[in-house]
């Protein structure tokens, strides 16, 4: 009877264990973002087998190159709607977040944010206030909720440059197609 009870107990323990999903992309995903900011448009992409690498030019301005890597890269992009017939009114912000190979879930805060290699870019006609920067203050949580759904929440602040984006909340459909 003890063996039977132990077997039943182990069965229920195993059956009640939540299933762990891992990020496994077969193609790049590009879709409208859930995080929309006034006077602009946002998109989110998940790019397989890439990472964003921060480099600096001869003037010390940060720029990014995308390099082959294990894992995937989440790209969030905001473009502000510019007034018509204005040459220098463009404004955009980009955030890159690296997810390791076989990513399933993490919660990062301030000093541990560098595990996700989060980069923030600001692009405008703003002398001395443009380029890419490391995000070092904030909180990031990300989880694979199902085989085809990645949920990501980022709250951050930047001391180096002003920014419009300070919070992102995304539920990314990894089977997204434009024809839906």
End-to-end distance of the chain based on CA atoms, in angstroms? Answer: 55
Q: What is the pLDDT of residue 122?
A: 94
CA distances from 13 to 4, 8, 78, 104, 105 (A): 14, 9, 45, 21, 21
> Who's near 127: CB < 8 A, 6+ residues apart?
none
- Report domain extents, the chain: 21-173
Q: Which residues pair with 171 in a beta bridge?
A: 151
In the structure, how many helices (H) and strands (E) does the chain have?
A: 1, 10
Q: What is the pLDDT of residue 57?
A: 93
102-141 per-residue burial string, b: 16 or more CB within 10 A, e: under 16? ebeeeebeeeebeebbbbbbbebeeeeeebbbebbebebe
Report d(CA 78, CA 62) in Å as an integer: 18
Q: CA torsion sign, 10 to 15 to 18 to 22?
A: positive
**Token pair of 91 as six digits:** 């404004």
Residue 3: exposure state from Cβ atoms within 10 A (0-12, 13-18, ≥19): exposed
Q: What is the pLDDT of residue 10?
A: 45
Per-residue pLDDT of the chain (180 residues; tens, 9 = 90+): 555 454 454 445 444 545 666 666 667 777 778 787 788 899 999 999 999 999 999 988 999 999 999 989 999 999 988 888 777 778 999 999 999 888 888 899 988 888 889 999 999 988 888 999 999 999 999 998 888 888 999 999 999 898 988 999 998 887 766 544
Q: What is the pLDDT of residue 20?
A: 66
The greatest distance separating any two alpha carbons of the chain, rounded to the nearest whole angstrom, comes to 83
pTM for this model (two decimals): 0.83
């Amino acid at each position: 009877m003890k063996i039977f009870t132990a077997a039943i107990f182990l069965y229920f323990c195993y059956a009640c264990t939540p299933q762990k999903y891992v990020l496994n992309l077969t193609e790049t995903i590009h879709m409208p973002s859930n995080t929309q900011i006034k006077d602009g448009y946002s998109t989110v992409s998940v790019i397989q087998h890439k990472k964003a690498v921060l480099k600096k030019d001869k003037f010390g301005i940060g720029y990014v190159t995308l390099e082959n890597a294990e894992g995937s890269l989440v790209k969030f992009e905001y473009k502000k709607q510019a007034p018509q017939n204005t040459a220098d009114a463009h404004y955009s912000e980009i955030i890159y977040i690296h997810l390791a190979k076989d990513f399933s879930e993490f919660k990062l805060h301030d000093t541990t944010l560098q595990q996700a290699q989060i980069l923030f870019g600001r692009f405008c006609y703003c002398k001395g206030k443009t380029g890419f920067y490391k995000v070092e203050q904030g909180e990031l949580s990300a989880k694979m909720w199902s085989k085809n759904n990645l949920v990501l929440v980022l709250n951050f602040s930047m001391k180096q440059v002003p920014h419009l984006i300070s919070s992102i909340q995304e539920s990314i459909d990894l089977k997204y197609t434009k024809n839906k």
